[in-house]
Copies of this chain bind each other. A is one copy, B any other.
Amino acid sequence: MSNVFGEKVKITLFGESHGNGIGAVIDGLPSGFAIDFDALARDMARRAPGSSPLSTTRREADEVEVLSGVFEGKTTGAPLAILIRNTNTRSGDYQPHLPRPSHADYVADVKYGGCQDYRGGGHFSARVTAPLVWAGSLARQILAQKGVSLAAHIARIGAVEDTRFTQPDAALLQALPNKPFPVLDDSVAEKMTAEVLAAKAEADSVGGIVECAAVGLPVGLGEPFFDSMESKLSHLLFSIPAVKGVEFGDGFALSAMRGSDANDPLRMQDGRVVTATNRNGGINGGITNGMPLIVRAAFKPTPSIGKEQQTVDLRTGENATLQIHGRHDPCIVPRAVPIVEASVALCLLDAML
């Protein structure tokens, strides 16, 4: 009831962190699209751990095998299935009877009657986002062919904030994914890095915000009543582990404003209807209005931290303490950037086909 998303482009996810593999099946793609496999690999590398001192030292090969749906380098129109083998797994790191606070361990134990694959978080592992990134990266390629550009940046880590998107254009959005540390104001990169390293030094973790923009969208994407563009996007974004908030345009800030300030005046520009400001993030009444779509996702700090924590022992039913010794990300946010992009790309492609 849960591992399938999308209407016209349907993605089915599977896999557990320490099982044989993880993957996805993507259905509904147009046939005959020539896939840029190098671009896919670049996006996969952006999500992969082990490439930076900010992330876990656990390296994942994340080699993607296409099982179906591609013939002579092009999509066939049939379901496209991919498989990523799990290789670097240290199963000894986990103690299933001591659930990690604010992780899915306890709820999974209850929901699945203790039969869940608890190793590495099992199906709840953020590792399951790897095939999502591949699928979303492909969606982004197809969107690019339709004139849509999209990219995300790190908008916050801990106390450090980047500037927000104001008038993003295609050039900016195409350049952003190539940055080793994707922020708009490069001067914050060092401070954000320091924030992560400080948390890491204390065996702690830190949260942040990812902001994504898309330009080149037609007017009219999204469906009233229940499938507003915001509904679809938030549905997918909230399935990303650790996301606890989603907002569009000025989002929560709009709740403190007057209508006369919050409304985006409509204006003619080069024979086209535009808005003078974009406080609504490119969406009115749940429907895209042709202005840049702006969405922000708040990530809580990774719950897996090295500091000693209070938990319960599910075997004895008594209070206990927990010290996690595995290799964990002090901050998931940099790796979350391509995950957010992938989610937005999949939703937009689904709406545009």
Contacts and interface: CB of A to CB of B under 8 A. Distances in A.
Interface string A1-36: 111110110101111100111110101100110000
Range class of the A interface residue count: 35 or more
A103 to B, nearest CB: 6
A175 interface: no
A228 interface: yes
A204 B260 CA distance: 6
B115 A71 contact: yes
Interface string A236-263: 1011010111111111101111111111
Interface stretch (A141-149, A165-173, A183-191, A309-317): A309-317
Nearest to A5: B226
Given A69-B14, A298-B255, A207 B287 contact: no
A329 B309 CA distance: 49
Q: Which of A75, A115, A301 has the largest count of B CB atoms less than 10 A from its CB?
A: A115
B230 A243 contact: yes
Contacts of A110: 219-220
Contact of A309 (B75, B265, B285): B265
Given A207-B254, A231-B236, A235-B232, A108 B312 contact: no
